[in-house]
Amino acid sequence: MKTNLKRFLLSIGIISLTISSLYASGKKPVQYNEDGDIIKTGWNLGPLPVVAFDNDRGFQYGALLNLYNFDDGSTYPNPKSAWYFEASAYTKGTSKVIVNYDNREIFPGVRLFAGVSYSNEKALDFYGMNGYQTLYDAEALHIFTQDEKLLNKMEGGKYPMGFYRHARNLLKAKAELQGHITEDFYWEAGYNLNWSTIKAFTPDNYTVLEGNLYDLYQAWGIISPDQANGGLISALRLGLMYDTRDREKNPSKGIWAEAHVSAAPSFLGTSHPFTHVGATMRQYLPIIDKKLTFAYRAVYQGFFGKDVPWYALPVYTVMGSADADWDGLGGYRTVRGLSLNRVQGLQTFYYNTELRWRFVDFKFANQNIALALSTFCDGATVLQGYDLSNRTALTNPGAAVLYEKFIDTSKADALHMAAGGGFRFIMNENFIIALELARCFDKRDGGNAFYINTGFLF
């Protein structure tokens, strides 16, 4: 498998290099910057097949296209504008379409971020609220099946996870502007929309006596009937950002910090109004200049309101990026190794610490190539929990018995942690192929997790 993986990475690298070189500067004289890198100019085109792996969603297949416009090369390695297109699907039942746009000069002194995406998730992770206050243990379930392959897996300790799944269609869109206050200080303003439709997941070849956690949360009254099937979030955002990174996609030094507030009132069409506050601190500390870097990220997210909708909690807010909002805590973009949506609450905190070693740089096919290794430790916790009171104990005694089995609010949530390492193929400081392996410290958060994706985590 390792040999096939190496061949795969070499193949997509060669494909990307070949196509990019065809659409790069052509016959123009090659120029170098002070670091010895080739200064890219004009449009650089990077179409690729999507062949990736996410531990939470399975193998991914499809196609993507990166378009970078470096124009005269004066802003390299940061492009003056960029497009990103993707259409892909995962073997565990998710399909998605993404279009993102980033432009630094459409308005004088103002940068534009815009993006839209649609995902159809047939088996999305749902582990309840407040981390360890909701039981995550498939072995504690009563699972019935006549499928011999599944029976053999269960005898080997691998249990199906349908109890901890639901289905969701999600449309996300954003349009945000960013402008200078001073050289390194920025203002941010924008509009974001998230429209979800949610329903229960029904396994094909087995049944669970307890049903599924999503239905139980409704039976206990934690998820109210008017919120059970999702809703519309229509929000305005304002924020401030401080940014001294030397490079955006692959920084080796600097600080990148931001704080923002989002208001999702009913007059904008929001189904269940609330206010959101987020703050992120990132720093890149050079140990050996441009070769060895220690990087960390600390993130706080809080939801405030009379009746904050449960379906808003997994949507993790992002500003200052062409990406639409992330899908929640856990997985490649937030806390590696942690099962997706394992940590949800009204107020959450997570961190990433990472040591990055850029061990080789070279030129190939008129492209700047680098290879890097990393080791990391990530963690997350719930600071303020969602109300997990059983509101139907008197009217639904059967559900009350299961409530005692799966919900325990006697202790606050603890820190969920994972650690691991990774490898990256870096081209022109923007196109980055990433492989990472992580393992959770506590089996209640997952086990080993492997990811093939693009970019750095932060």
Q: pLDDT tens digits for 400-425? A: 889 999 999 999 999 999 999 999 99
Using CA atoms, how far residue 322 sits from 23, 57, 254, 289, in Å, is 23, 22, 21, 28
Give the pLDDT of residue 21: 47
Would you say residue 348 has pLDDT above 90?
A: yes
Residues of the chain with pLDDT > 90: what percent?
65
Kindly list the distances between the CA atom of residue 262 and the CA atoms of 101, 111, 190, 238, 453, in Å, as whole numbers in the listed order.
21, 19, 9, 7, 29
Q: What is the C-alpha to C-alpha distance for residues 378 and 419, in angstroms, rounded to an integer?
A: 6
pLDDT reported for residue 365? 84
Estimate to the nearest angstrom the gap between the alpha carbon of 109 and the chain centroid: 29
Locus of tokens 């690729």 = 48
Q: Please tell me which residue, 235 or 36, carries the higher pLDDT value.
A: 235
User: CA 7, 69, 428: angle at the middle one, nearest 5?
Assistant: 40
CATH number at residue 164: 2.40.160.50
**Between 440 and 326, residue with greater pLDDT:** 440
Q: Is the peptide bond before 77 cis (omega within 30 degrees of 0)?
A: yes
Which residue range forms the structural domain that includes residue 239? 2-454
Alpha-carbon distance of 230 to 129, in angstroms, equals 16
- Quote the number of domains for the chain: 1
Q: Say yes or no to pLDDT of 292 above 70.
A: yes
CB 56 within 8 A of CB 340: yes
Q: Which pLDDT tens digit goes with each residue over 358-413?
A: 999 999 888 899 999 999 999 999 999 999 999 998 888 888 889 999 999 999 99
> Quick check: pTM over 0.75?
yes
* Residue with token string 């890219």: 40
Question: Are the C-beta atoms of 356 and 457 separated by less than 8 Å?
Answer: no
What angle (nearest 5°) sits at the alpha carbon of residue 111, between those of residues 109 and 112? 140
